[in-house]
Amino acid sequence: MRKALTGLGTLIGPYGEVTEMSTFTCGHCQSIRRVKPFCDPADLGGLCKICMTVVCECCVGLGCDPFEKKLEREEARFHARRWIEGVT
């Protein structure tokens, strides 16, 4: 996995011990997962060939549904409900 696709997670334990790990965020559900640095995207879940983002094992095979599109649908639904109810 490319370095640009990963993040860095820092865990601080109850006694002050610090643990750092590489992470990635799923492009479809926004869940944060631990990864080994420079590993193959297939080991993580997969790479969506439509939106070209790394997806977790839960989102593989469900089709392309990026998180931004989900937000746009929710906003459109909210505005439609407000219009129907006549709230300004």
Domain residue limits, the chain: 3-85
Residue 75: predicted pLDDT: 93
Amino acid at position 39, single letter: C
Residue 87: predicted pLDDT: 66
CA distances from 56 to 21, 30, 49, 77, 79 (A): 17, 9, 14, 27, 31
% the chain with pLDDT above 70: 89
% the chain with pLDDT above 90: 6
Q: Each residue of 26-57: pLDDT tens digit?
A: 888 888 888 776 777 677 778 888 888 888 88
